[in-house]
Every structure is written in C-alpha cells, then in structure tokens.
Amino acid sequence: MNIGILGAGSWGIALAVLLHGKGHRVTMWEFSPEAARFLNEKRELPTKLPGIVIPPEVKITNDIAELFDDSELVLCVVPSQTMRQTLKTVAKEVSRQVLDGIKGWVMASKGIETGTLELMTDVLTDEISGIDAGRVAVLSGPSHAEEVSRGIPTTVVAASENQELALLIQENFSTATFRVYTNDDMRGVELAASIKNVIALAAGIIDGMGFGDNTKGALMTRGIAEMMRLGRKMGAKDSTFSGLAGIGDLITTCISRHSRNRRMGELIASGLSLSEALSKMTMVAEGVETARSAYALSQKIGIEMPITTEVYKALFDGKPIKEAVRDLMMRETKPEFW
C-alpha cells in the first residue's frame, strides 16, 4: 500500500519506519525545507530519535503535493495547533481529483484546537471538503515514538465509524511488535488522547514536587473520571476511556521517562515560568495548549474538570502549585461517581 505521512517529527518517523518494515511504500512530508534536506541527507533525527535510521526507500519531501502522488492512506501527524494551516495548504496545493482518490485519512495527532475547541478530525473535515466520516480514522494509544521505532511491543487502537476502514488499518499496520485493535468511537478516542496529556502535565508536577505514589494513583484515577465526564457530555462511550486510548495511554504518559508532557510538568514544578519551561523542550508538549482549550471547552459546555482547571491556572495564571493542590484537595466533598 502507498502511504503518505504529513509530518516528519519523531512520531511521523516512527510510523514511517514501522510501515516500511511492513512492506508499504512510504512518503513523508516535512514543513521546513532545511529540515527536509537534513533528513534526506542524514536519514536520522538525532535530537528526537537518536540511533534510528530512516530507510533509504522512505521518500522525504518538502512538496506537499508530491506526498499525495499515489497515496492510498494519508496519516496526519503534524502538531495539533498547526493542523488547520497544514490542511489549508493541502486543500490549496492538491487537486480535487487526487484528494477524492484517498481511501482513508488517519489522524495520529492529539489535541483540541485553541479558539475553535475542535478535535483534529473536525479540523480535517472542515478544511478538506468532501471528506465524510467514512473516510476518517483515529490512531491512538500508549505508543511513544522512541519505543515504536525500536520495535518494542506496543498496542494501539484504530477508531472509525467505518468498520472496513478500521479493519484496513488493523491489517496493514499490525506487526509482531505493533498490535492494532479496532473501535468505532472516534470522538471518545480523540478526547481521551487529548485530555490525558493535561493529566500527564499534572503527573509531572507531582513528580517535580516530590509527592508520592498515593498522589500519582489518585491523579490518574480521578483523571480518568474527568476524561469520562467530558466524553459522556460529548457523546462518547464510557468503555473507550477504559481502553487503550484512555487508561492505557494515560498510565503510560503519566509515568514514562519519554513523556514530554510529564517532563513539562516537572519543569513547571521546578519554579520555571511557562515560557522558560517551553524553551527547554526539544519536542512539542501538546498538553500545554490542550490545557487551555480543554479548560475553555469545560466552561463552554458546563462540566466540572477540576484537575484540568488547576493545571490551566498553574500554567496560564501563575497560580502557585501548592495552592492548586490545596484547592483540589479541599473542594466540596462528593460521592466517587457523579
């Protein structure tokens, strides 16, 4: 199968290596001409995936129209807050005939767009006219690029309202080290994938403050409850949040040394300002902007998301961490399930 990947960061490269190993013809698009030249010449990205070689058969281009030549599936892997502009460029540069020939669009980026408060599949269908839900899928789960690229056993979920598309992805992406399950709850998978990054920021703050296992266990459990509450309001299935995209990805992102969002939380807990912490990151911590958009979404639709609220206030209002923790602990007491 011919597969195009929009985005040549660590996750895009990991997927390219995986899919090439499966025998697919893979093309990656890189936004920066300089970065595209570097990747073509060096065939590696040592700042993000040291030691991982991009196979010579994987084509790397800065020409977005070239990516779509003969592509049957297109994976969207650019950062969530640049997704809309990237797709606007696709709509402008790629012919209608070529776009209509794409069998499926696979969203592999996680986040909620600031301003519009839309999920990434909504941004996709906004900007590429003529795409219905039957040609869209979401790929998500506990899957750090650093591990997938090295063939460390990983399981993810492919979610689509079109069961045939989910099964197509399952068949063509599954390997001895990368197992794909199917799901029909795209919205739930996207919400879980987005909000878990905010909870992971809180997990990093916990680590940075020197709190203990009790605190981390409570955070992850109440984080799932918060994600589920949002999902229920937005028409998602509760069961999705108990699966790979929910609790699976949440646990991994909250405890992993690879987690950029957990690391970002540690930096905030060390006393750095948001801008100072961001300057120390070599990769995008999607949870930062998602905290902003998730907080705005909770206010818009009228649900309580206390962890998200306190993370937002710590990041953007400068609220002291100890005060945020105290306010979480001293909230009005409630039943566990409400």
Q: What are the residues facing 165 on neighbouring strands?
A: none
Closest by CA to 66, choosing from 43, 40, 84, is 40
DSSP state, residue 193: H
Would you say 268 and 311 are in contact if contact means Cβ atoms under 8 Å apart? no
Catalytic residue of the set 103, 196, 313, 334 = 196
C-alpha pair distances (Å), 111 with each of 71, 75, 83, 193: 25, 15, 10, 7
Would you say 29 and 39 are in contact if contact means Cβ atoms under 8 Å apart? no
CA-CA-CA-CA torsion for 275, 277, 279, 282, nearest 10 degrees? -140
One-letter amino acid at 312 equals: Y
Active site residue 196: yes
Computed on alpha carbons and rounded to an integer, the radius of gyration of the chain in Å comes to 19
Closest by CA to 187, choosing from 224, 228, 231, is 231
Helix (H) or strand (E) holding 323: helix 321-329
φ, ψ for residue 326, nearest 5 deg: -60, -45
Q: Give the residue numbers annotated as catalytic, written as ranges.
A: 196
